[in-house]
Amino acid sequence: MSVVSNGSSIGARFITGSTMRHVVVMTATSAVGLMAMFLVDLADLWFLTLLNQIEITAAIGFAGTIVFSNLSVGLGLAIAAGALVAQAMGRGEENQARETASAALCLSLITGLIVAIAIAVFARPMLSLLGASGEALELARYYLVVIAPGFLLLAGAITVSFVLRAIGDPRRAMYVTLVTAITNAVLDPIFIFWMDLGIAGAALATVFANLASFAVGLHALHRHHQFVVRPRVSSIRANLRPIMRIALPAIATQLATPFAIAYMTRITATFGNDAVAAVAAINRLVPVAFGVIFSLSGAVGPIIGQNYGAGKIDRVSQTLKDAMVFSTLYTVVVSVVLLSVAGYM
């Protein structure tokens, strides 16, 4: 295990000890921040409903599908970064892990910038494809243009969060998502109501929340772990192929969900803005219930990566088994609870 000069120890923490314990701890720390974000996202929608304008709620439903697609691209790149960094740590190649992390962060920021520009420029035709029209379309387009700079910051925040997990620091990775939720929760009512910015206020609150989370994550990597090195073109070029080899399939997998939601939104739009607004609310309730499962998928990556890099294939298999057991038990329990309270909701 390597020790940096400021006293922070990092290394292949997941190649020893109980794999189930690693799965539970990594999932729990991820779930805390992620579910906080989901709850704030739900509160964000609730704040906007207080404006008593159904077109605004529908606009969030339309725009949310496109925002989700951007998130999926960022997640795919972050998954690749986390996997490669974890493997390098498992092999004991800490310098290579640093190079990979820095290159992946640069690629994430560049990709985030390209996606942000594309969404801002082509917002109207994309929303039209989803079935948006009239005032709901204009409000959704306005929301996407305002929130677009946040896509770049979100891509960076997700990547540093995954890298922190890959080097065995789930606590600070949790802080990244918690800061997003807290900042958004504080700024939402200020921008939406006090400054009377409406839907633009919700978008601005998200941009500042993404900025805060990226700053916290970058500070943790650079100051505490000294894990960010000056990016070099040669390093980015050398890491481009291995990163994309993992990122492209991951992005395709992640995009399956927003594409399905886009199809559902297109069909729902034929029933009017009320129906789109209702679906928008449902799409924010479900992640709150199953946020732990969403967290699990990202939590096992660093554990598997470090053990794979260390050549401990038996622990890789055991981690997958433990994750399946954990996922099954949690899903059964939550499903029973939801069925039990369905009549009271």
Instruction: Determine the Cα–Cα distance for residues 57 and 136; give it in Å rounded to an integer.
Output: 8
Concatenated DSSP letters of 176-195: HHHHHHHHHHHHHHIIIIIS
* 92: exposed, middle or buried (Cβ count in 10 Å: 0-12, 13-18, 19+): middle
Instruction: Determine the Cα–Cα distance for residues 45 and 196; give it in Å rounded to an integer.
Output: 16
Q: What is the pLDDT of residue 1?
A: 36
The pTM of the full predicted model, rounded to 2 decimals, is 0.84
| Domain ranges within the chain, ordered by starting residue | 36-290
Q: What is the pLDDT of residue 302?
A: 83
Instruction: Determine the Cα–Cα distance for residues 33 and 246; give it in Å rounded to an integer.
Output: 25
Instruction: Determine the Cα–Cα distance for residues 76 and 217; give it in Å rounded to an integer.
Output: 18
Q: What is the helix (H) or strand (E) element at residue 92, kind and residue range?
A: none
Buried b (16+ CB within 10 A) or exposed e, 144-153: bbbbbbbbbb
Q: What is the pLDDT of residue 6?
A: 41
Q: What is the pLDDT of residue 334?
A: 84
Find the angle CA(43)-CA(46)-CA(52) to the nearest 5 degrees.
160
Residue with tokens 């925002």: 67
Q: What is the pLDDT of residue 342?
A: 64
Mean pLDDT, 10 residues at a time, the chain of 345 residues: 42 81 85 76 83 89 87 88 89 88 93 93 93 92 93 92 88 89 92 93 94 94 82 86 91 85 87 84 74 77 84 91 91 84 63
Q: What is the helix (H) or strand (E) element at residue 9, kind and residue range?
A: strand 9-10
Q: What is the pLDDT of residue 10?
A: 57
